[in-house]
Each structure stands twice: as structure tokens, then as C-alpha cells.
Structure 1
Amino acid sequence: MPRPDHTRALHAALLTAARGLPVIPLSRTKLPAVRSPHRDEPRSAGVCRGECGGPGHGVHDATTDPARIRALFAVAPWATGYGVACGRGPHHLIGVDLDVKHGRDGVGALRSLAAEHGFTLPETVTVLTPSGGRHLWMTAPGPVPNSVGRLAPGIDIRGEGGYVVGPGSRTLAGRYLLAPGSADAPLAAAPAALLRLAAPPVPPGERQPRHAAGPRHPAEKRAAALVRFVLDSHEGERNGRLFWAACRAYDAGIGDALAPALVTAAVHTGLGEREAAATVASAGRLRAAPHP
């Protein structure tokens, strides 16, 4: 018999998909709930993005088809939430993640940026997070890259290849809820000045290709290096390397934002999702504990 949290998440996911936004089921850890069919394959087998035809490819499974959504949730009866894929046409959704933990004030930082660069934050779909932060959903004319802290500490951008946790989801941290008055709000277009700030910076003297990929901001370089460190793990050292990388991420103030990528990388090396998520959570608790 389906659990109430599972049923509520499925219902909310179907409502979100009806707005043209593709969704996937999530576990309580905010990670994709459907296990990868390639989890026992070596990394040298390549990276499948759903070409094999089966479910379990994370954000690449995201869909607006009600039948497929129901099928994905049926495969993962433990799902208690859903993710909304960013960067997909026609909306090219971006999620502006405003964090207020660990001394950061993403809400205030975004207001300061708006005042400094002369743009107005539009009324749009706003999701309240269990930690007191919020996600602003906006549309863009094309894909926008993910970033961690590039705009300011406490401001992360969920863009192409990423996802945001949808309202109505329950995670280990609590529920994600629509902000009052946000249920019927249209998806607002992101201000052009905000999109310019979210674009990867171009180093002096270097022309940036239009669709260039790869991190430029120091925080993104750190994040990419930590994920690579985990991916390069071998049997017998995977959990230790994951814990070390997670500790470094929390030390740098990007632990919460990078946790899903670290867990996904660890699962790709052969660790179980529960074990990997527990290891990252342990690192977060250790770094949050007061030091004598």
C-alpha cells in the first residue's frame, strides 16, 4: 500500500508536470529515487543518459508524461519527493537557491545584487525550504549553467543538467512548500542582468565560446576537483575518499550544494546510495559541530 508521503509527492509531481516542467521521483536524501541500472558496471563502460531505454538515469529520466511519471514512482515506492529538471525547453527553468544556513544570507545577498545592478526581482513561483531558505523559479531564453556561490555566498544557480526539489516533497530535513500566494503565480522571466551575472566569467584576454562548458569560478573549480577525487576512488578507499571530499566541501561552505553530486559520484564508483549519503551527512555533522 503506498505511503502517504509517496502519494502526496506523486500528486504534486503530476501537478508540476502539467505546467510543462519535467519531473523525477526523489528519495528522502533529495537524490533520484530510481536506482541506476548501470550501478554494477565499471566506469570504463561509459556514461548512459537513458539511451539504454531503462529508468534510473537521474535527471535524464525527467518527463512531463503522466503515465511515465506514474511508472517511475511505481518503480521507487520509497520516493517521498520529486525533482524538477532545469534547463529543459521550452521554459529553460532556472532555480535560484537562496541559502540562509551557516551564517549565509542568500536572500539578502540577492536583494543587494538587484540594487547594485539595477534589476527588479519578479513575482514568481517560490518554494520554501526546510532550512528557512527559498528557491525562486524563473525562465530563461536558453540553458543557464549551474553554479555554486558565483553570484554571492548563499546564492546557487540550478541550471542545465540540474534540478530543484519540488513543493510537496518530504526529505530528511523536512518539507518543501510553496510560499503563500505562490501557488498560482506564473513562471517569471529572469531579469537579463541576473542572467548575465549567472553566466560563466570570461578570464581577461580570453574569448569564451558561446556554449563553453567547465567551471571558471574558484568555488566551481573546487567543486569539480572534489567530484573528480571521488570518481577516481578504487575499491577499499571509496568511503574514505568520499568522507574526505565531503569534509573539504563543508569547510569551503559548499557542502550542502555539492552533496548530491558527491553521492552520485560515489554511487558511480560502486558505493551504495544509502552508505554514500550517510557518509556525506556524517561529514556535514562533523563540520557543523562546535570545536573546543
Structure 2
Amino acid sequence: MNKTPTVQAGAVSGVVDQSQCSNLAGQSIPLTLDRTPETLPTNLWLPTAAHRYARLGFKIGPLNGKVPMTPNGFKDFTTNLDQVRSWWERWPGANIGTTPPEGMAVLDIDPRNGGWETWQRLNAGHRVPDTLMMLTGSHGLHFWFTLPYPGDLRGTAGEGVDVKTHTGYLVMPPSVHPITGWYYLIAHWCTPVELPTWLRAHIYKPVPKPVQAHWVSLEGAPGAGLVATVEQAGEGQRNNVLHWAACRALEDGLDLTAELTCAAESIGLSDTEIHRTLTSAANTVGRAA
């Protein structure tokens, strides 16, 4: 199942020209795609937008300012149109919150905390691709991206740039900022694009470096050369090298199971692969004997 919302140009009111974003936050009414003012009565802006978002696949929920009004917070957000309609019939002036789908990340630029300076530094020498962009009620921006691969993400990419995922929620246009009174607006409406390569190191947590076996640093230790060979094995040869080293150790009467296991883990082999390879080596030497 495709978890990325299918967005259609002009489907939600609040589209503004990207070049004018810094001047329009909360200072004009939402505009349609052809830049004509939204013709709906103002009391229908939020209920209509909430229904449109839910139709497009966004999980939606009502907010009091920025606080979810549902019993279980953002965990109750839904695409169910009947539920969304019921919420905004009950609270027609509620702001709109949404939870980003799994496999997506939203970079939240907060200018009050140095977000623009951090954003410029992160993208120095690069052009940020056109993607789904929301103008916030504090003159910030939400950049929506799909993630190129699974992995643990940071909570922030730097000062003033938060990373929002399905474990949290965002305020959506045309909500009104509870402090500034400005509208959230859509700066650029399109299907989110993949996170650019130069931003990935700032979004993903670094993969922990494998721990090397300490004992092999003892010069002259029995089997140290075999273990060192496994530690230096390149990708594509790791299982073969481990099998070879295990066979040599058994032939020399050395019990290096723990040491070879540690070395194999340090180069990224899984427990299953290590167990299978060591078992195969034991069977090979046993047959030869």
C-alpha cells in the first residue's frame, strides 16, 4: 500500500505564490491555485480544508490552537470522512492537525530559533527541489519529503530546524496561529519529493561503528591473524573469509568461536549468518577428518 498522500494541485485552499511567502503569512486570505481569493465563507475554510485533506489521505484531527482536542491526542487522527465531518460540525473553528505518514519526514523551519540561518547552512551550494511546502503562522516553512530508506531519524537537523514524522503532528493551513493570529498557508502544492542526498546526514542518525575485538591487539595471540583477516574482509567476501578462518582454526586445534563471532559482528554479519557459516565450517572439517 502506498502510504504517500496523493495530492492534486489546487485541491486545498491556501495556495500562494512561493516567491511571496515571506510577505503573505497571515496578511491575506487563502488563495486558490489561479490566485483568485477563496470564495467560501470564512466560517467554512477550516471544515472544508479538513475534509479535503482527509480525502487526499492525510490523517486529520482538530486542534485548539496547537493542542489536539481528541481523547488520545494525535493518535486519534484519521482519514475517516464521517469522523472528520463530525469533528468540524462540533468545532467548526478548530485548527487542523495532521500526522505525517510513515516513510515521510517534514522539516520544520522555525525562524524564532535561528531556523533560516541553519537552513541556509544545510543547503549551502545546493538548490532545494520543489516539494510540498507549508507556510507557518510564524513566518516559517514546513518542507515535506519522502524518505529514501528506513532508519532512525534525528529530532532536529540543527538549531531551529525540527524533524517531524509519524510519531508527532503538524498544524495545517488554513489554521490560525494561536499567538500571532496569522494564517498557515500552502506555499507550494505538489506530491512530496525524496529527501535530497546532502540533507540525509543531518536527518538520519549515524549508524554505530562496529566494535572491534580487543583481544586481537595482543601480538602473538594464537589465531590473531585469522581473526584479523575476518575483520578486514570486504563486502561480498565476508562469509567466505569467515568460513575459511573457522576451518583453519579447527584444523589447528584452536577454539576461536567467540573471537571469530566478535570479528564477524564487527563487519556487519548477522547472528544467523555467523552461526550458519561457523556450523558449515565445523561440518567441513569434520568430514575431512
TM-score w.r.t. length of structure 2: 0.51
Q: Cα 1:23–1:135, aligned 2, differ >3 Å: closer, same or farther?
A: same
Question: How far 1:58 moved relative to its partner?
Answer: 1.7
Gaps of 5+ in 1: 37-56, 208-292
Question: How far 1:148 moved relative to its partner?
Answer: 4.3
Contact 1:27 1:80 in 2 (8 A): yes
Report the counterpart of residue 67 of structure 1 in structure 2: 82
Question: How far 1:190 moved relative to its partner?
Answer: 1.6
**What is the RMSD of the two structures over their aligned residues, measured on CA atoms?**
2.9
Gaps of 5+ in 2: 1-40, 213-289
Report the counterpart of residue 127 of structure 1 in structure 2: 134
Report the counterpart of residue 154 of structure 1 in structure 2: 160
Provide the secondary structure at the position in 2 that maps to 1:127.
strand
Report the counterpart of residue 178 of structure 1 in structure 2: 185
Report the counterpart of residue 234 of structure 1 in structure 2: none
Q: Cα 1:85–1:132, aligned 2, differ >3 Å: closer, same or farther?
A: same
The one-letter amino acid of 2:135's match is L
2:140 equivalent to 1:138: no
Contact 2:131 2:190 in 1 (8 A): yes
Provide the secondary structure at the position in 1 that maps to 2:111.
coil
* Per-residue CA distance 1:219-263 (angstroms, 9 max, x = gap): xxxxxxxxxxxxxxxxxxxxxxxxxxxxxxxxxxxxxxxxxxxxx
Contact 1:6 1:81 in 2 (8 A): no
Task: Give the Cα separation in 2 of the matches to 1:74 and 1:206.
Answer: 58
Contact 1:128 1:178 in 2 (8 A): yes
* Divergent runs of 4+, >6 A: none
Instruction: Please point out which of 96, 106, 110 is paired with 2:107.
Output: 96
2:121 equivalent to 1:112: yes
Provide the secondary structure at the position in 2 that maps to 1:195.
helix
Q: Cα 1:148–1:140, aligned 2, differ >3 Å: closer, same or farther?
A: closer
Question: How far 1:120 moved relative to its partner?
Answer: 3.8
Of the two, which has the highest radius of gyration? Answer: 2
Question: How far 1:65 moved relative to its partner?
Answer: 2.2
Deviates more, 1:16-25 or 1:171-180: 171-180
Question: How far 1:169 moved relative to its partner?
Answer: 0.7
Deviates more, 1:163-172 or 1:195-204: 195-204
Task: Give the Cα separation in 2 of the matches to 1:178 and 1:132.
Answer: 10
Contact 1:100 1:131 in 2 (8 A): yes
2:204 equivalent to 1:189: no
The one-letter amino acid of 2:98's match is V
Report the counterpart of residue 9 of structure 1 in structure 2: 46
Instruction: Please point out which of 27, 31, 36 is paired with 2:67.
Output: 31
2:27 equivalent to 1:19: no
2:97 equivalent to 1:83: yes
Report the counterpart of residue 73 of structure 2 in structure 1: 58
TM-score w.r.t. length of structure 1: 0.51
Count of aligned pairs between the two proteins:
171
Question: How far 1:26 moved relative to its partner?
Answer: 0.8
2:170 equivalent to 1:164: yes
Report the counterpart of residue 50 of structure 1 in structure 2: none
Question: How far 1:5 moved relative to its partner?
Answer: 6.8
Provide the secondary structure at the position in 1 that maps to 2:52.
helix
Question: How far 1:201 moved relative to its partner?
Answer: 3.6
Contact 1:85 1:93 in 2 (8 A): no
Provide the secondary structure at the position in 1 that maps to 2:123.
helix
Report the counterpart of residue 257 of structure 2 in structure 1: none
The one-letter amino acid of 1:160's match is H
